[in-house]
Amino acid sequence: MLQIRAIRQERSYHAQGYPLSIMRMNTTPRLLRSLWFNAKYAVPTVLGVAILNFLLLQLTPGDAADVMAGESGAATAETLAALRSRFGLDLSVLEQLQAYLGNLAHFSLGFSPRYNMPVMELIGQRLPSTLLLMGLALAIALTLGIALGTAMAYFAGRLPDRLLSVLSLLFYSVPGFWTGLMLIVLFSVKLGWLPSGGSASIGSQLTGLAAVLDQLRYMVLPATSLALFYVAIYARLTRAAMLEVQSQDFVRTAAAKGLSPWRITLRHVLRNALLPVTTMAGMHLGGMLGGAVVVETVYSWPGLGRLAFEAVLSRDFSVLMGVLFLSSLLVIAANVLVDLLHAWLDPRIEVR
C-alpha cells in the first residue's frame, strides 16, 4: 500500500488568507517525490505479481497441448509429447518459471501456442481496443457519478436525493452481463439505434472523423454497461464526501462572505470531496479490466478481456500471464497517477 499522510489543519489555506501562489509553490518538488516513492516499489510489486500469477496458473489442470490435440482429433501420447516439447510445457515448474522470468528480463512475454505468434504482438493488437473502452467507461462513470453525487448532496434529505439514491442502488445491484443484454434488447433490437456488437462496420472504408464516429457508435453500449456499476459507487462516495466537507469551517466562512450555494458547492466543497473519488477510481481500474471480460464477450469487442477469456478456454497460459502482467502494470500506473493528482488537488498531502 502507498503510504500517504494527509496533514490536516483546522482551517484551509484559503480561509487563513494564504494566496494561491504560496499554496502551489512547492507542488513540483512534491510531485517528484511522489513519483520517486512509487517508482521504488513498482518493480518488486510487478515481479511479485508475475511470480504469483505463474505459480497459481500451474495449479490449474490441463495445458495448451491437451486442447490443441483434442481439437485436431489426434490426442495420442506421441502427439501430446511432441506438442509439450515444442512449446516447453514438458519442463519442470522451476525451469518454466526461469524461462518466463528470462523472457520478462528481455521484455518478452513468450510465445502463444494457440495463436502461433508472440504474446507481445498479440496483446499489442488487442490493447488499444480495451484502453479505448476502459477510458470511455471511466469517463462516463466519473462524470455521471460526480454529477449525481453533487446533486444528491445539494438536495440531501429531500425527494431528489431519495430518487437518485434509488437509481444508484439499481445500477449497483444489477449484474453487468444482464445490463449489457438489456441494453442490446432496447437500443439494438427494439429501437435499432446502435449496433449490438463488434468494433466497426464490416467492410467500411471510412476515414477521419467518419471512422471515429462509426467506432463510437459501437463503443456506446459496452462502455455504458461497464460504467453503470461504478456510477453508483462514485455517486454515493461523492455524496458522503461532500456532506462531510460541508461541515468544515472554511465552507461556513465562504457562506458568510455571501457566495452563492452553487459556487460554494462547485468551487470549494467538490474539489475537496474529489480526493476519495480519485482514490477509488485508481483502485477500480483492475476491477474494470476484470469486468471488461464479461462486457467484451457479450458485445464481441476485440479487446484484452475477450482475449483472456479465450486463453482460459484454450489453456493458453502464456497469453493469460501476459494479460495479467499487463493488468498489474496498468493498475500500478493508475495508482501513480492518482497519487500525483492528490498532490495537485490538495497541497497538504505529503509522501512519507
Most confident range, picked from 26-40, 59-73, 107-121, 324-338? 107-121
Most confident range, picked from 2-16, 207-221, 253-267, 320-334? 320-334
For the chain, the domains span: 30-114+316-322+343-352
In tens, the pLDDT along 221-275 reads 899 988 888 999 999 888 888 888 777 777 778 777 777 777 777 777 777 777 7
* pLDDT of 15: 42
Distance of alpha carbon 199 from alpha carbon 216, whole angstroms: 9
pLDDT of 42 strictly over 80: no
Helix (H) or strand (E) holding 298: helix 270-298
pTM for the full predicted model: 0.75
pLDDT of 22 strictly over 50: no
pLDDT of 32 strictly over 80: no
pLDDT of 8 strictly over 50: no
User: Mean pLDDT across the stretch 288-317?
Assistant: 84
Quickly list DSSP for 101-135: HHHHHTT---EETTTTEEHHHHHHHHHHHHHHHHH
Q: What are phi and psi of 104, to 5 degrees?
A: -65, -40
Q: Who has greater pLDDT, 42 or 7?
A: 42
Q: What are phi and psi of 196, to 5 degrees?
A: -90, -10
Quickly list DSSP for 32-96: HHHHHHHHHHHHHHHHHHHHHHHHHHHTSS--HHHHHHHHHT---HHHHHHHHHHHTTTS-HHHH
* pLDDT more than 90, % of the chain: 2
The label of the residue with cell 473519488 reads 277
CA atoms within a 13 Å half-sphere pointing along the CA-CB vector of 254: 22
In tens, the pLDDT along 45-82 reads 888 888 898 888 888 877 777 777 776 666 677 777 77
What crossing angle do the helices spanning 209-245 and 159-173 adopt, rounded to 10°? 120
Quickly list DSSP for 219-250: HHHHHHHHHHHHHHHHHHHHHHHHHHHTTSHH
